[in-house]
Structure 1
Amino acid sequence: MDFDAVRTFVAVAEAGQFQDAAAELSVTQQAVSKRVAALERSLDVRLFTRTPRGAELTLDGQAFLPHARELLRAADRAIAAVRPGRRSLRVDVIASRIAPTDLVRGFHQAHPEIALDVLKLFDVGTAVAALRSGAIDASFRAVAMPGPAVPEDIETLRVLDEPLQLLTGPAHALASARSVTMAQLAGHRIWMPGLAPGTEWTAYYDALAAEFRLTIEATGPNLGADALLDTVADTPALATFIGARTRLVWPVGHGLRRIPVSDPTPVYPHSLLWHRDNRHPALAALRDHLAASADGHDHPGTWVPSWARGQA
């Protein structure tokens, strides 16, 4: 159905005059007449009777008027739902406790007027598909991992190089260290149960293990952060890596230690991804906020996989 014709019909019905409706719609009276005539043909009824006083609704016109108004209200709601700036900015942060969530929290504190929808998608392939379909506006990922390249219509901005820390229980051999070097980690078992094949974080830790001859194990199910903390606290032979900005809380009795890693410091390269045709005004605000707070990348004394180097 032609919504311009429906809107014109409602304008004539409310004004009672074709000429007044034309003035309200900023079109000619002839255009108003043509739109109404086309609508009458499509409905196969007469909607108005012309009288000396103007245009009066027929019985069919009276029956159609409330439905026409509802059609226009529904159309206006549909347009508003997708109009840039009228809907929430939809951002994928992967998981709730890690650095991307902290970055989005900082953006929200700086821009509380911007409505946000925060989602958690699994891998970079799922996130890119959601960006291209418009299901989300932005995603935090590590690029460009080995495998399919990021499509040309997806833009990226490297926003944070997050240092890794070693997390140990109180009885671990390295628990008393104020810091550890990558060389000292050789021979120790690093347990990372969340390493799923094909994900960017698995590609990162595979590269880390190969570069520094680390023993990284992904055995057992991934039962979440609490189960990971319980196991590391109770098992002296296991340690794990966590990001320096990962927010974790554990019982006092666990006695867990977060230990900085150096020589070099492995950093996880977080990038913001978005579709180049996305015109949501809040997306530009998010990019500007992250760019202003970024501390650069590829600093001396840090390490990232070769596939992440040079990513802007």
Structure 2
Amino acid sequence: MDLDTVRTFVAAADAGRFQEAAAQLAVTQQAVSKRIAALERTLGVRLFTRTPRGAELTIDGQAFLPHARELLRVAERAVASVHTGRRPLRVDVIASRGAASGLMRGFHEAHPEIDLDVLMLLDIETAVAAIRSGTIDASFRAVAMPGRPFPEDIESVRVLDEPLQLLTGPAHALAGARSVTVAQLVGHRIWMPGIVPGSEWAAYYDDLVAEFGLTIEATGPNFGSDALLDTIADTPALATFMGEHTRHVWPAAHGLRRIPVTDPQPVYPHSLVWHRDNPHPALATLRTYLAAAAAGHDTAGTWTPGWVLQH
């Protein structure tokens, strides 16, 4: 069904005269007559009766009018859903409890007027493909992984260097330390079953191991963060790494310790990634917010892999 004919029908029904409907629609009266006739042929009924006072709706026209109005409302909503100025800003934060999720919560608090769709896409290639196709507007990633440069139409800016902390149970040998150096971690078993081969965080920890001789184990199935925290709490021989801005809740009886790591302080680099031609106005607002909220990068005493982009 041609929406122009439906729109003309509604205008004529409201005006009561084809001439007035033509003026409202900025078309000729003949064009209005042709559109109404086309709609009547499509529906197989008469919609108007001509009278000395103008055009009156037939019984069929009266029955069709509320549905015609709803058709136009649905069409307006359909257009609005993809209009870059009105649809929600779609952002991938990878995981709900990570630093990127916290950044987006802060953005929402600062700009509650901006509608958001928050997604969690694990794989970097999936995220980049979604950015290029327009399925999402932006993603938080560590860039750029060795051997996987971004396409030329993808832009990125570094927004947060997140310090790593050591998480231990109460019986771990380092549980009482106020801080630990990287050198002190050598020989200790750091268990991280959530490392996904081929991911940017796998590349990060591979470089951390190679640089400082640490022992990071990714063995066993990944049953999620709750199972990880239970195991760390109950196993004195195991510890894990956790980002400073990662938020987890555990029972007080676990007695878990979050211990800063120093000399140097390993930091995980979070960057915002987007398509250079994305016109969504809220994307610019997000970038401005993150630029104002971001601290300095590559400060003295910190470490990141050599492949991390500096801008």
Match of 1:215 in 2: 215
What letter corresponds to residue 53 of structure 2 in structure 1?
A: R
Deviations along 1:176-219, one digit per CA (max 9) or x if unpaired, are 32222222222221111101112111111111111212111001
Structure 2 unpaired stretches of 5+: none
Aligned equivalent of 1:142: 142
Separation in structure 2 between the aligned mates of residue 243 and residue 219 of structure 1, nearest angstrom: 20
Matched-pair contact (CA < 8 Å) for 2:169–2:255 = yes
The aligned amino acid for 2:171 is A
2:251 is matched with which residue?
251
Closer, same or farther: CA 34–217 of 1 in aligned 2, 3 Å:
same
Structure 1 residue 255: deviation in Å? 2.5
Which position in structure 1 is the counterpart of 2:122?
Answer: 122
Q: Is the 8 A contact 2:142 2:271 kept in 1?
A: yes
What is the Cα deviation at residue 59 of structure 1? 5.8
Structure 1 spans left out of the alignment, 5+ residues: none
| Most deviating of 4-13 and 174-183 | 174-183
CA contact (8 A) 1:91 1:118 kept: yes
By how many angstroms is 1:70 displaced? 2.6
For 1:29-178, what aligned pairs fall within 5 Å after superposition?
Answer: 29-40=29-40, 47-57=47-57, 61-62=61-62, 64-178=64-178
Does the CA contact (< 8 Å) of 2:143 and 2:309 recur in 1?
Answer: no
Give me the CA root mean square deviation.
Answer: 2.3
Q: Is the 8 A contact 1:164 1:244 kept in 2?
A: yes
Task: Indicate conservation of the 8 Å contact 2:144/2:309, yes or no.
Answer: no
User: CA, structure 1 residues 151+43, in 2 after alignment: closer, same or farther (shift >3 Å)?
Assistant: farther
8 Å CA contact 1:194–1:218 kept in 2: the answer is: yes
TM-score normalised by structure 2 residue count: 0.90
* Deviation sequence 1:250-290 (CA, Å, 0-9, x none): 23332222221122211111111223333333222211111
The alpha-carbon distance between structure 1 residues 234 and 63, as it changes in their structure 2 partners (threshold 3 A), is closer
C-alpha distance in 2, partners of 1:120/1:62? 48
Q: Secondary structure at the match of 1:307?
A: coil
Q: Aligned partners of 1:176 and 1:26: how far apart in 2?
A: 79
Kindly state the Cα deviation for residue 103 of structure 1 after the two structures are TM-superposed: 0.8
Number of equivalenced pairs: 311
Matched residues in 1 for 2:62 and 2:169: separation? 77
What is the percentage of aligned positions where both structures have the same residue? 77
| Alignment check: 8 A CA contact 1:298 1:309 kept | no
